[in-house]
Structure formats: C-alpha cells, structure tokens
Amino acid sequence: IMNRLLVIGGISVALIAGMVSMGGADPIVNVGEVKYADEAGNTSTRVSEPAVINGPYLVITKKASRRDVKQGERFTYTITVKNIGSQPARNVVVKDRLPDELKFIENSQRCSRKDAKMSIEKGSTILKYLLATMGAGEEEDFECDCECF
C-alpha cells in the first residue's frame, strides 16, 4: 500500500493506492463469497467479481430484454463483457450459442465498439464477436435480436 501527498499549484492532493505485488507478472486473483439460506432452509452461495492485479480478467453477463416469450415473439439478448483486471486483454472472442428453440434475426447484431468484427458460424446458431483488445476497466455490450419458434 502506498500513500503520497502531492502539492499541485498550492492544492494538496492525496494519492492512496492499494496494490499487491509478488515481484512477477502472474495475475493475482481474489474473490469474496457469501452463503445464506431462505426461510425454507434452501442454501445459496454467491461469489463476488474477482479483484485482479497484474493481468486482464474478463467477466461476462447475459440478459434477455424479456423474461416470458411466446412462439413468434422477438426479444433482445445483451451480453456485457468487462475487463476488471489491471491490464488489457487481447484477441477477445465472445461466442453466443442460442438454444434450438430460438433463431437469430438476420443483421440484428450490434456492438458498442465500431472495430468489433461480428459473424454467425455457417449452419449454426453461434454468433461470434471479435475484439483485438479490451483495455483495463473497459466494458462492451454485444446485442442480437432473436425470435422464439
């Protein structure tokens, strides 16, 4: 842990940074965990997003715009990928495999980054997004529209 007091133009600025260094370049990953039970005694465990030092660490979540879908109805999937590590991730590939009950709506793929490459594997329901790099702290959304059939 490092603490410094800088004086910039007569203004005091405190810099407080916490960092663990083991002297190497290998990532250090640490997570927190919580266990709990509901009134019926069913137990659950949740794990935090990891704290990562000395490397990239990507976290992915997927959400649907609707929870209930009937045959013929459309909705949007959003995949969010965040680099919570301390270094850039390179050659990032995000794959989205749809269940057999759904189909992609042609040309509906979107990404928050203009340089993302998007494709659908021929004869399949696998959508791929490619990013050359994802910086530390960066977050990207990948979306596609689907139909239930």
Per-residue pLDDT, averaged over 107-116, amounts to 87
| Cα–Cα distance for residue pair 36/140, rounded to 1 Å | 32
What is each CA distance from 96 to 15, 43, 84, in whole angstroms? 41, 30, 21
State the amino acid at position 8 in one-letter form: I
Mean per-residue pLDDT of the chain: 79
Burial class (CB in 10 A: 0-12, 13-18, 19+), 135: exposed
Question: Is the pTM higher than 0.75?
Answer: no
| Cα–Cα distance for residue pair 22/38, rounded to 1 Å | 40
| Cα–Cα distance for residue pair 78/110, rounded to 1 Å | 9
For residue range 50-90, what is the model confidence (pLDDT) as tens digits? 776 778 888 899 999 998 899 999 999 999 999 988 889 99
